[in-house]
Amino acid sequence: MKVRVLIIFLILIAVFLAVIHPQFKSQKERVNVVFILVDALRPDHLSCYGYFRNTSPQIDNLAKDAYLFTQAISPSTVTVVSLPSLFTSTLVRHLVSNWTASLNPDTLTLSEVFKRKGYRTAFLSGHGVIGKVKGLSRGFDKFVDDRELTAPLLTSKGIQWIQQNSSQPFFLYLHYMDVHGPYRPPSPYNTMFVKDKFYKETKKLPVSETDEGENAIPRYIYQEGHREAGYYIAQYDGGIRFTDEYIGRLMKYLKDSNLYRNTLIVITADHGEYLGEHGKYFAHGGPPWDTVIRVPLIIKIPQQKKGRVIASMVPTLGISPTILSLLNFKVPETMEGKNFAGLLKKNGSYSSSPIISISGNPERRSWYVSLRTEEYKIIHGGREGKELKWFYNLRQDPREKVVLGRDEIPSSLSSLLEKREKEIQSYLSSSLGRLDQESRQRLKSLGYVQ
């Protein structure tokens, strides 16, 4: 009798631990992966991150079942650097720095690992130019990068692909562009937040003669008759709500198809967006201030039933090795991003390391490198021959408004920044390669080239 009671007690303990700490039993357990990237999405404009507008009810629902990271840091302020870095989990060792670059053939991508493990794989993107990076398609059975794939079509194509491929484990990457400038969400999202109770009547801004937003509205963003920052922020938020609606439809499909429970889901961004910070409006790129390198990161692991907020600083460069580790797959030696799966595993450990982020625009002759810890941030760079350097105490000044003196920079951080900069000189001297006219026009419509 005592033995029977003991067995029942042990079973109850095991069930309890499984509920509070979902894990994958083994490599043989069927686990699908859906990786969603929303281009130019700021975390502080999602309701689940505390934003005052109800911009993301569907993402909020997912976050209730997931781990929500409050300090996820991107390796770059521009897509062409951050996205290839996400897939290869490399930055310094091998850097993609322009639209016509090529991935190192010796560097394994996340998709290639999944392909070798017998997964069906697909890359569906509405970006329209990122697909020009040679080698990015490696490991994908289906690879589509088409500017016509706005949220409704991208989502329907994704669902259709899952329907055709869910007989075996799958890895699906979806790249949404509907939050990115020029901020043109369809009705009713284009009026949803205009003149609402949070709408601020700010001073009118001039319209820039270029597509840069230096104390002005970028030319490609401008809508006739609207020169107030509040109007464009309302449009940006409308784009988030529009995208959120279709992410919700995808989640509903996964649930209705009994796929949600055993699917690992990631939602993140390649970079953020300036909405007036540091005198910059409706753009990204430029210095790696937190406004453009701090991104949302939500990870839902299979069988997870309760969400949790994680405040530790993590690099999005570590997403790929983290996913592979969670699935009990071997992480390729070429992946240099720090694996933070320990934050999600029982008895796991993790200690943050300084994160480097880079930015540059060869056509505008600018470059920047930042080194960030949970407490400090150094930004070093230049524009048209002028060298710039800023140092911030993030705990005392999270908005990076007060530049501290150079003599206050810890010598260890300065030395580390200098070492990493030497390792990426090839990036600092890179130039924009030759693109076809259609791709250049697409980049122009997104504010990347003049």
- pLDDT of res. 19: 40
Over residues 347-396, the pLDDT tens digits come to 777 888 999 998 876 555 677 889 999 999 999 887 766 788 899 999 99
How sure is the predictor about 18, in pLDDT bands with cuts at 50, 70 and 90? very low
32-36, 196-200, 290-294: segment of lowest average pLDDT:
196-200
- pLDDT of res. 200: 82
How sure is the predictor about 122, in pLDDT bands with cuts at 50, 70 and 90? very high
How sure is the predictor about 98, in pLDDT bands with cuts at 50, 70 and 90? low
- pLDDT of res. 233: 96
Arithmetic mean of pLDDT over the chain = 86
Over residues 171-230, the pLDDT tens digits come to 999 999 999 999 999 999 999 999 999 998 777 899 988 877 888 999 999 999 899 999
3-state SS, residue 428: helix
Q: Are 85 and 76 in contact (CB under 8 A)?
A: yes
- pLDDT of res. 11: 41
The pTM assigned to this predicted structure is 0.88
42-46, 105-109, 350-354, 358-362: segment of lowest average pLDDT:
358-362
Instruction: Please tell me the distance from the alpha carbon of residue 283 to that of residue 280, in angstroms, as a whole number.
Output: 7
Tokens 């009990």 map to which residue? 328
End-to-end Cα, the chain, rounded Å: 81
Q: How far is CA 384 from the centre of its chain?
A: 29
Domains, the chain, in order of start with CATH, read 30-353 (3.40.720.10)
> What six digits make up the tokens of 80?
């062409």
Alpha helices, DSSP H only, in 65-140? 79-88, 110-116
> Which of residues 429 and 288 earns the better pLDDT score?
288
